[in-house]
Amino acid sequence: MIPGPKNQITDVPGLKVGNAQDDALKSGATVLTADQPFTASVHVMGGAPGTRETDLLAPDKSAGGVDALVLSGGSAYGLDACSGVVDGLRAQGRGFKLGPAIIPLVPGAILFDLLNGGDKSWRNNPYRDLGRAAYDAADEDFEIGTVGAGTGALTSMLKGGLGSASLVLDDGTTVGALVAANPLGAVTTPGDRHFWAAPFEIDGEFGGLGPDPSAGLVAPQESRKKQQMLRQAANLPLRDERGNTTIAIVATDAPLTKAQCQRLATAAHDGIGRATVPAHTPWDGDLVFGLSTSEQTTPSSEPDLALIGHAAAVCLSRAIARAVFHAEPAPGDLLPCWKNS
């Protein structure tokens, strides 16, 4: 297994990703799309998800393909980014056609970045426009770090971000991951230098420091993120520790059914658990979309799916670390970036 040419999810043929962000808002949206509808499903392991149109991705639902997937900041407000993408698709005549009606299918998921130091005093929800701008920017080449849905993301200890990674299997199958990392947990071990995902790093893609030589790293660290969010809330009570989430997309060009895409998404959650400590908490909305761009009708065998799922988990772990590694400092940040820690 080696990374694809870009080491991004767009190494999977046919996929495009677009980002849009507002630096003053400290938030943004990310869109994944393709020239043709693709098969997709979803699996949720966090206790506090925020989603739109994910029910149609269940294997027993009739929708055969979707036109785009959206990752967005903004909590519930960010779900409106999907509406902007729907606008863009409709303008191009794309979507499910029922007589003269055109219905673009655009599931999405959001993360909480409303207490991250950005200016949230809008009068009109900005996320529809951000979604449309991200869709219009979709391309095979895109930036990671402090962009798109990762613009205002925060991990427990350091600034989060948008990350991506890919692998090409021995048989030529390509697998990729795209993630907006905003977890309750930490992506680095105590001391902020070594990534939990270090055993899966390839070619120094997130610093090349290797695994932490320390042992017994069991107890979660006292969260800088929670402390800063309390200050942003003017010390008003915050219910539990809500305000987190890792939302991701894993993709392959292997021919998968919708049920197999769901299994792909389920397996990929291991990548969150290997890169983030703790993961899948009651206060995270951890969610993974799984998709196949293949137009073949013959599904992959179970052994193939096992290997593809493993590759997706590895890609997702690496993508989470890359999101934090590539994060850039900006005015008003509440937490340091890895590169400045």
Q: Is residue 3 part of a domain?
A: no
What is the residue type of 145? G
pLDDT of residue 266: 97
Is 238 a member of any domain?
yes
**Structural domain includes residue 2:** no
What is the pLDDT, as a whole number, of residue 303? 64
**Cα–Cα distance between 289 and 308 in angstroms, integer?**
14
CB 180 within 8 A of CB 148: yes
How do beta strands 245-252 and 287-292 pair? parallel
Burial class (CB in 10 A: 0-12, 13-18, 19+), 301: exposed
- List of the chain residues with pLDDT < 50: none
Containing H/E element for 87? helix 81-91
Kindly state whether residue 322 falls inside one of the protein's structural domains: yes
Calculate the alpha carbon distances from 15 to 44, 88, 99, 191, 335 in Å.
23, 16, 28, 37, 33
User: Does 1 reside within a domain?
Assistant: no
Residue 336 lies in domain: 9-340
Let me know: does 192 contact 338? Beta carbons within 8 Å: yes
Phi, psi (rounded to 5 degrees) for 310: -60, -45
Burial class of residue 89, CB neighbours in 10 A (0-12, 13-18, 19+) = buried
Is residue 159 domain-resident?
yes
How many folded domains does the chain comprise?
A: 1
Residues 6+ apart with CB under 8 A from 231: 334
pTM: 0.94
What does the pLDDT read at residue 234? 65
Q: CATH no. for residue 103?
A: 3.60.70.12
Helices (H), 191-331: 224-232, 258-275, 302-325
pLDDT of residue 245: 86
> Which among 252, 245, 246 is positioned nearest to 309, based on CA atoms?
252
pLDDT in tens, 255-303: 999 999 999 999 999 999 999 998 888 888 899 999 999 987 666 666 6
What integer pLDDT is reported at residue 312 of this predicted model? 98
Q: What is the pLDDT of residue 239?
A: 57
What is the predicted pLDDT for the residue at 270? Answer: 96
4: in domain:
no
